[in-house]
Amino acid sequence: MSDHLQKETRDDAVLSLRNVTMRFGGVTALNEVNIDLYPGEILALIGPNGAGKTTVFNVVTGVYQATEGDIVFNGERLNGMKRFDITKLGIARTFQNIRLWGDMTALENVVTGTDVHKKSGLMGALFGLPRARREEREGREKAMEILKFIGIDEYADRLAKNLPYGVQRRLEIARAMGTDPKVILLDEPAAGFNPAEKVELANTIKKIRDAGYTVLLIEHDMSLIMGISDRVIVIDFGTKIADDVPSAVQNDPRVIEAYLGAPADAS
């Protein structure tokens, strides 16, 4: 599936990066990268360490402002927008390093995600106004539904810092879902997982997609990537070198060279 074919046959991308370049001083982390993410798909973003994958997540979510190029979400240009506003629009993410509120319960962590869309504000919460109480109740109900969906509702009342590592990873996904996103960016969600946990995670990600979410995924576990992705994009030294279905990417000589450091036909 070439870039040319995609542009000719599809114009329904929910998220698009157009010629996005990101420079840090004299270092080019991303070089004119083009990515289209389509509704209801699981798109994997892979590449060697330092290739620029997390930088893609950071420019999409407003952590960095792209040096050049455009980032468009549902027809709205994200360039220059603040992180909170991008989240409110419908883009949520997890991180390589777990960033939970350790002294909050699992349920409370997910409730913080639902706070993005609350309208009552701080004063309403402080004075216990009816609207604030209703939003708090609805937020807790929604958070519990999400914990059940992810399969960790039994941990709802336990402090996040006391949860098993694998549960913490899944709780991060649950908290991201609490923001009511259209697109979820998962940054190495299987890091540190054993084989059984990876199988469970793969099923969870497919379940999320089947529930109507769109997923952009960074992951190093190739068996996981090849098992759940609809499409795979490969970045090497900040440049996109492949964009196709998993089986084609797996056999692409440029991808093999990027990972092995030598041409595919080298002896």
Q: What was the pLDDT predicted at 7? A: 43
Of 201, 142, 205, 217, the residue nearest 167 (C-alpha): 201
Choose between 10 and 60: higher pLDDT: 60
Say if residues 135 and 111 touch (Cβ distance below 8 Å): no
- Per the CB < 8 A criterion, the answer to whether 158 and 106 are in contact is yes
* Higher local confidence (pLDDT), 267 or 232: 232
Instruction: Confirm whether 95 is domain-assigned.
Output: no
- pLDDT for 139 equals 84
Q: Do 186 and 259 fall within a single domain?
A: yes
- Tally of domains within the chain: 2
Give Cβ neighbours of residue 133 (< 8 Å, ≥ 6 apart): none
Identify which has the larger pLDDT, 258 or 175. 175
Q: Report, as an integer, the average pLDDT of 3-20.
A: 74
Residues 203 and 174 in one domain: no
Domain that holds residue 110: 100-180
What value does the mean pLDDT take over residues 155-173?
96
Q: What is the pLDDT of residues 68-98, one digit of tens each?
A: 999 999 999 999 999 999 999 999 999 888 8
Statement to judge: residues 85 and 185 lie in one domain:
yes
Is position 111 within any domain? yes
H helices of the chain, where?
Answer: 3-9, 53-60, 83-89, 106-114, 121-126, 130-150, 165-177, 195-210, 222-228, 246-250, 253-260
Report residue 134 CA to chain centroid gap. Answer: 30
Looking at the fold, whether 38 and 162 belong to one and the same domain comes out as: no
**Residue 128 shares a structural domain with residue 193:** no
Nearest to 167 by CA among 178, 176, 177, 158: 158
**Three-state DSSP class for 139?**
helix
Q: What band does 260 get if pLDDT is binned at 50, 70 and 90?
A: low
pLDDT tens for residues 125-142?
A: 554 556 667 778 888 999
Same domain, 130 and 241: no
Sign of CA dihedral 152, 210, 4, 73: negative
Domain boundary among 158, 180, 202: 180
Identify whether residues 58 and 141 lie together within a single domain. Answer: no
Which residues does residue 215 pair with via DSSP β-bridges, in sequence order? 42, 184
- Residue 50 lies inside a defined structural domain of this protein: yes
Q: Is 186 in the same domain as 156? A: no
For the whole model, what pTM was predicted? Answer: 0.86
